[in-house]
C-alpha cells in the first residue's frame, strides 16, 4: 500500500472495523462510518470521493438485515446496488481501485458442490438480489475493481451469529438450530487479512469477482456446536430442518464457495473456519 490513499466505507461495521486495523499502515486512510458516508444517499458519495481522491476505495458498507430487507426492498437496493454503482463511476473517473464485498446469497443453493465465480446466479431473497444488482452495477461501469464474495460473516464486533449464540446460550437452557443449510463461517478478521494480502499482489490481477471465504464447511448447527465448545457453554443444542424455523427471507441450502480462483490469482488462502473461530474468541 506504499504511497496510496485509502477510502474505507462502513468503518463501523464488523468487516470495516477489521479493515481499519489491517490498513492502518496506509500513508493516508480515511475511515468513514454511516454518519460521514450514508450509502442510502448514493449521490452524496460523489462529493466525498472527489474531495479525498483515493487510490483505493474499500466498500465494506452494506444493508445486511436479510429478513428485514423483505419489507425494505427499496432501501436495500439503494445501499447495496445504487451506491456501489456510484462508487464504481467515481473510481473509474479517478483511475482508482474499487474493492467491494458481496455474498454467497447471490446463489440459489441448489448446487451439490462448492460454487464457482462462473456459476449462474439466482438469489432467493431481496438481500441477495440487491447484492447481485450491486455486482452488476460495478461490472457495467468497468474500471478497476475486485468484488470479493464471502459467506456467513461474523466477528468480535457488530451483529452476527456468533454473538447471538453466545447471548442466547447464557439466556436459555436449550436452542434449536437449523442443520440443513451449509456454508463456511468466515470471520471479519480473515476477510480483512486476505484483502490486505490480495491488494499487495493486485498489480497484475484482472478485475472481476473472486470468492473469499474460510476453508471447509459446516451447518448452522455445526457452527453453533463449535461456538459452544469454544465458549464452554452448557446449553443444549437441537438440530432442526429449515421448515421448523421459518423466516421472512428464504436461505440457500448450499452456500459453500470455491476459493480456487482467489488462490490461483493472488496466492491468498483464508484459514479453515474452525481455526478462524478460535482466533476470534480472544478478541471478544
Could you give the residue numbers annotated as active site? 127
Dist CA 72 CA 50 (whole Å): 30
Estimate the crossing angle of helix 14-22 against helix 188-200, to 10 degrees.
40
Q: What's the grid cell of residue 242?
A: 429449515
| Alpha-carbon span 236 to 184, nearest angstrom | 23
- First-residue to last-residue Cα distance in the chain: 29
Residue 132 CA to residue 62 CA, distance in Å, equals 12
User: Could you tell me which residues are beta bridge partners of residue 115?
Assistant: 257
> What residues pair up with 56 in beta bridges, in sequence order?
6, 97
Cell, residue 80: 447495496
Amino acid at each position: 500500500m506504499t504511497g496510496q490513499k485509502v477510502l474505507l466505507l462502513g468503518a463501523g461495521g464488523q468487516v470495516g472495523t477489521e479493515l481499519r486495523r489491517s490498513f492502518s499502515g496506509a500513508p493516508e486512510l480515511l475511515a468513514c462510518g454511516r454518519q460521514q458516508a450514508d450509502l442510502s444517499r448514493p449521490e452524496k458519495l460523489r462529493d466525498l470521493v472527489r474531495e479525498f481522491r483515493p487510490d483505493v476505495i474499500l466498500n465494506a458498507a452494506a444493508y445486511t438485515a436479510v429478513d428485514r430487507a423483505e419489507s425494505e426492498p427499496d432501501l436495500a437496493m439503494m445501499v447495496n446496488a445504487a451506491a456501489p454503482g456510484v462508487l464504481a463511476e467515481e473510481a473509474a473517473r479517478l483511475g482508482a481501485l474499487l474493492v467491494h464485498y458481496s455474498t454467497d446469497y447471490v446463489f440459489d443453493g441448489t448446487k451439490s458442490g462448492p460454487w464457482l465465480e462462473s456459476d449462474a446466479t439466482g438469489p432467493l431473497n431481496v438481500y441477495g438480489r440487491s447484492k447481485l444488482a450491486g455486482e452488476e452495477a460495478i461490472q457495467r461501469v468497468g474500471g478497476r475493481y475486485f468484488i470479493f464474495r464471502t459467506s456467513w460473516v461474523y466477528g468480535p464486533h457488530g451483529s452476527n451469529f456468533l454473538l447471538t449464540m453466545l447471548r442466547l446460550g447464557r439466556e436459555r437452557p436449550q436452542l434449536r438450530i437449523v442443520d440443513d443449510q451449509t456454508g463456511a463461517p468466515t470471520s471479519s478478521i480473515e476477510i480483512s487479512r486476505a484483502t490486505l494480502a490480495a491488494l499487495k499482489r493486485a498489480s497484475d490481477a484482472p478485475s472481476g469477482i473472486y470468492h473469499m471465504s474460510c476453508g471447509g464447511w459446516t451447518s448452522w448447527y455445526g457452527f453453533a456446536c463449535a461456538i459452544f465448545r469454544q465458549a464452554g457453554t452448557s446449553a443444549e443444542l437441537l438440530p432442526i430442518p429449515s421448515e421448523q424455523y421459518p423466516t421472512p427471507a428464504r436461505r440457500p441450502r448450499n452456500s459453500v464457495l470455491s476459493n480456487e480462483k482467489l488462490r490461483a490469482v493472488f496466492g491468498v488462502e483464508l484459514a479453515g473456519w474452525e481455526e478462524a473461530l478460535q482466533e476470534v474468541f480472544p478478541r471478544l
